[in-house]
Chains A and B, each alone.
Chain A
Amino acid sequence: MNSPAPSPSEKGSFGSAAAMKRLKQRHRAEMRFKLYGQLAIGIAIVALVTLLISIFGQASSAFSRNVLTFDVRLDAEQVDPSGERDPEAIARNVSGFNLLLQDNLAEDFLPGETDRARLRELYGMFTRLAVLPIARKTAENPEIIGTGQEFRVALADDIDLYLKGGVSERKSLKLGEIQDVTGTLDDGIDVTFADMKAVEDLRSALETFRERSEGDNQPAALIQLGETWFRLQDIDGRTASLTYLAGASTMPAAGTNASTLVLEQSEENRTVSDRQIAWTMLLKEDGRVKSVFNTSLFSHSDSTYPELAGTAAAVVGSLWTMLVTALLAIPVGIFAAVYLEEFATKNRMTDLIEVNINNLAAVPSIVFGLLGAAVFINFLGLPRSVPLVGGLVLGLLVLPTVIIASRAALKAVPPSIRDAALGVGASQTQAVFHHVVPLAAPGILTGSIIGMARALGETAPLLLIGMVAFVAEVPDGPTDESTVLPVLIYKWSTGAERAWEPQTAAAIIVLLVFLVLMNLIAIILRRRFERRW
Chain B
Amino acid sequence: MDYQCGRMLETFGHLPVAWLLFAVLAVAGFVSFFAGRTQAVTVGHGQTERLNSQPNYHGYFVAMATIGPAAVILVLYALFGDSIVRAQLASELPQRIRDLGSLELGQYIDRISEQAARRDAASTGNALFDAATSRYTDLLGLSRIIAVLAALAAAGLGFFFARRQLSVHFRARSRVEDGIKFMLFLCAGIAVLTTIGIVASLFFEAMRFFSRVSVFSFIFGTEWNAQTGADFGAIPLFFGTFMIAFLAMLVAAPIGLLSAIYLSEYASPRFRGVVKPILELLAGIPTVVYGFFALQFVAPIVRAGANWVNGLPFVPDGLLAAQPTSALAAGIVMGIMIIPFVSSLSDDVINAVPQTLRDGAYAIGATKSETVKQVVMPAALPGVIAALLLAVSRAIGETMIVVMAAGQRAQITPDPTADLTTITVQIVALLTGDTEFDSAKTLSAFALGFVLFIVTLIFNLIALRVVQRYREKYE
Contacts and interface: CB of A to CB of B under 8 A. Distances in A.
Interface of A: 26-27, 29-30, 32-34, 36-41, 43-45, 47-48, 50-51, 54-55, 58, 331-333, 335-336, 338-340, 343-344, 352-353, 355-360, 362-371, 373-375, 378-379, 396, 399-400, 403, 427-429, 453, 456-460, 463-464, 466, 468, 486-487, 489-490, 493-494, 501, 504-505, 508, 511-512, 515, 519, 523
Nearest to B177: A429
Interface in B157-198: 173-174, 177, 180-181, 183-185, 187-188, 190-192, 194-195, 197-198
Q: State which size class the interface on B falls in.
A: 35 or more
B177 A360 contact: no
15 contacts: A30-B367, A33-B373, A37-B263, A40-B254, A48-B281, A356-B195, A362-B393, A429-B180, A457-B285, A459-B287, A464-B428, A466-B432, A466-B434, A468-B433, A493-B404
Contacts of B340: 44
B426 to A, nearest CB: 11
B464 A366 contact: no
Contacts of A41: 258-259, 262-263, 275, 279
A368 B198 contact: yes
Interface of B: 173-174, 177, 180-181, 183-185, 187-188, 190-192, 194-195, 197-198, 201-202, 204-205, 254-259, 261-263, 266, 275, 277-279, 281-282, 284-293, 295-297, 336, 339-340, 343, 367-370, 372-373, 390, 393-394, 396-400, 403-404, 424, 427-428, 431-435, 437, 445-446, 449, 452-453, 456-457, 460-461, 463-464
A74 to B, nearest CB: 37
B181 A47 contact: no
Contact of B191 (A50, A360, A466): A360
A356 B191 contact: yes
B289 A50 contact: no
Contacts, number: 265
Given A359-B457, A371-B201, A457-B288, A429 B181 contact: yes
B190 A332 contact: yes
A379 B394 CA distance: 28
B427 A370 contact: yes
A343 B368 CA distance: 44
B289 A30 contact: no
B254 to A, nearest CB: 7
Contact of A355 (B184, B190, B256, B461): B461
Contact of B187 (A336, A458, A460): A336
Closest A-B pairs by Cβ, 10 of them = A364-B397, A37-B262, A457-B286, A374-B201, A40-B258, A339-B184, A460-B399, A335-B187, A33-B369, A336-B188
Contacts of B367: 26-27, 29-30
Contacts of B258: 36-37, 39-41
Contact of A464 (B295, B297, B369, B431): B431
A335 B188 contact: yes
Contacts of B204: 374
A382 B457 CA distance: 28
B404 A26 contact: no
A32 to B, nearest CB: 8
A359 B192 contact: no
A50 B297 contact: yes
Contact of B457 (A332, A363, A366): A363
Contacts of A356: 191-192, 195
B293 A54 contact: yes
A373 B433 CA distance: 12
Contacts of A352: 192
A373 B431 contact: yes
Contacts of B287: 457, 459-460
